[in-house]
Amino acid sequence: MLPLLIGVAPFGLIYGVLARGAGIPALATQAMSLIVFAGSAQFIAVGLIGSGAPWAILLLTTGIINLRHLLYSASLAPHLRPLRPLWKWVLAFLMVDEVYALSISRYQRSASRGDTEAHWYYFGAGMTLWATWQTSTAVGIYLGAQVPASWGLDFTLALTFIGLLVPALTDRASRAAALTAGVVAVLAWSLPLKLGLILAALTGVLAGVLVERTAPRERPAEQPSSGA
């Protein structure tokens, strides 16, 4: 758990710095961490808000980025089935990538379906991560006010994504998805309302599916996504 928090805290910090740099007020920056609590979607939203994208594109992009939570939700559902609704609602809110990865492996190790300790483990991991995210966002907001724009810190956003993207390109299909999406995004860059991003993401996913279909032998095990 500790290495995970050390890994998450700098992202919260960078998020806070970038959001302030994009002109988002301090209170709204913190509120996004409190309410949305989804690292990669928050990073992308900061980029979109900074470039003046309209609200519909922001919501659409959030939906696409966070679609992976459908997968998490589906895989946790059988384990959470015996719980009362209130527990389900709370645990669903805490379902970020890192917490999902920890708790699903905890559930799979536990012998019985109704393992109470596993639920508390999920809750504890989730709350700890949530608290770390809030604290590091607050520190980032404070630091963001001190860093001049000439440092080019906005580039850390692209570098963060490179760091997440490149190591995940382990098979032909995901390389095809990334390459197609990147090229389409550059070609469609001048489209209004940042529509190029949506178009690129959809074409990229389609390319990945098509390549996987032609080479089905080379399919790696499903992994939790690398987004923060």
Partner 1 sequence: MPPLSLWLVIIGMGAITYGLRLSMIVFFGRVKMPEALRRALRFVPPAVLSAIVLPELLIPGGTFSLSLGNARLAAGILAAAVAWRTRNVFLTIGVGMSLLWMLQFIW
* Interaction residues for partner 1, span 12-41 (CB under 8 A): 24-25, 28, 31-32, 35-38, 40-41
Q: Which is nearer to partner 1, 15 or 72 (CB)?
A: 72
Q: How far is the CB of 111 from partner 1 (least distance, A)?
A: 21
Q: Which of 3, 52, 148, 192 binds partner 1 (CB under 8 A)?
A: 52
Q: How far is the CB of 201 from partner 1 (least distance, A)?
A: 5
Among 169, 172, 170, which residue's Cα sits nearest to residue 215?
Answer: 172
Q: Which of 5, 26, 49, 104 binds partner 1 (CB under 8 A)?
A: 49
Q: Locate 171 and state its tokens.
A: 């098979």
Token pair 């699903």 in the structure block, residue = 104
Q: Within positions 54 to 113, which residues make up the interface with partner 1, using CB under 8 A? A: 55, 58-59, 61-74, 76-78, 80-81, 88-89, 91-93, 95
Question: Cα 72 to the chain's mean position, in Å?
Answer: 12
Q: Binders of partner 1: how many residues, by CB under 8 A?
A: 93
Q: Within positions 152 to 191, which residues make up the interface with partner 1, using CB under 8 A? A: 152-153, 155-169, 173-175, 177-186, 189
Question: Cα 127 to the chain's mean position, in Å?
Answer: 17
Strand (E) or helix (H) holding 127 = helix 116-144
Q: In degrees to the nearest 10, what's the CA dihedral of 127, 128, 129, 131?
A: 80
Q: How far is the CB of 226 from partner 1 (least distance, A)?
A: 6
Cβ-contact 163, 10 below 8 angstroms: no
Q: Which of 12, 39, 144, 204 binds partner 1 (CB under 8 A)?
A: 204
What is the Rg, in whole angstroms, of the alpha carbon atoms belonging to the chain?
Answer: 19
